[in-house]
Amino acid sequence: MRDLKRIIVSGEGGQGIQVISKILATAAYMSGKKMLYVPNYGVEQRGGASLGFVQISNEEIGFPKFQNVDILVILAARAIPRVREYITKDTLIVHDETLVSKESLKDIPNQKISVPALKIAEEKMTGKVMNMIVLGFLADIVGGISIDSLKEAVNERLEGKYKANPELKHFNERALEIGMAGMKEALV
């Protein structure tokens, strides 16, 4: 039986949308799954909507893109018009209320989870790690991705930055843990 999860991470340039998409795929691979990731790309170099398409499965994945999304992460309101076409009645929508208001999603009747990632990041660490909290949370929803794989995939990607800023490693790992624990700890 094919167990396939189709995920779109969407937002705007500068939020690290492609970074977390690629790390999610890498961590899934490290946890023993099959995966394929493809970014959207266009002629614009900065700003504009950014979408990462990730597929995670127990079997080989064929086409890099897909029509129907299972888990849709929206981190900027400007991405909403670009992702509508992928939503089905079964799509689970994950957003951050500080970045994408409930109001802006009110005409989408789907199940939604609002994660206060930016708020937690700013209060507990730095706003920069918002995307790592989202990544941890997303990995938990997808399932079968270990925290160690996530940390390893993040380390691999950000090794260079960590040398210049060792504190960032600590923050990122903490952010991943908070995200993966469903932010329960941070919310109390």
Interface residue list for other proteins (CB under 8 A): 2, 22, 25-26, 29, 34-43, 61-68
Q: Please state the closest distance from residue 87 (CB atom) to other proteins, in A.
A: 14
Residue 69 vs 125, nearer CB to other proteins = 69
Q: Please, which residue, 90 or 167, has the CB nearer to other proteins?
A: 90
CB of 157 to other proteins, least distance (A): 11
Tell me whether residue 26 or residue 178 sits nearer to other proteins (CB atom): 26
Nearer to other proteins among residue 46 and residue 184 (C-beta): 46
CB of 49 to other proteins, least distance (A): 14
Question: Which residue number, 66 or 137, has a Cβ lying nearer to other proteins?
Answer: 66
For residue 183, which phi and psi values (nearest 5 degrees)? 65, 10
Pairwise CA distance, residues 55 & 70, whole Å: 10
Q: Give the Cα separation of 133 and 119 in Å (integer).
A: 11
Instruction: Tell me if residue 9 falls in helix, strand or coil.
Output: strand
Minimum Å distance from CB 43 to other proteins? 6
Question: Please, what is the minimum distance in Å from the beta carbon of residue 22 to other proteins?
Answer: 6
Question: Beta strand 49-57 with 92-95: parallel, antiparallel or unpaired?
Answer: unpaired
Rounded alpha-carbon distances, angstroms, from residue 47 to 21, 130, 155? 18, 18, 26
HSE value, Cβ hemisphere, 13 Å, CA-based, for 88: 9
- Count the Cβ atoms, other than its own, within 10 Å of residue 149: 20
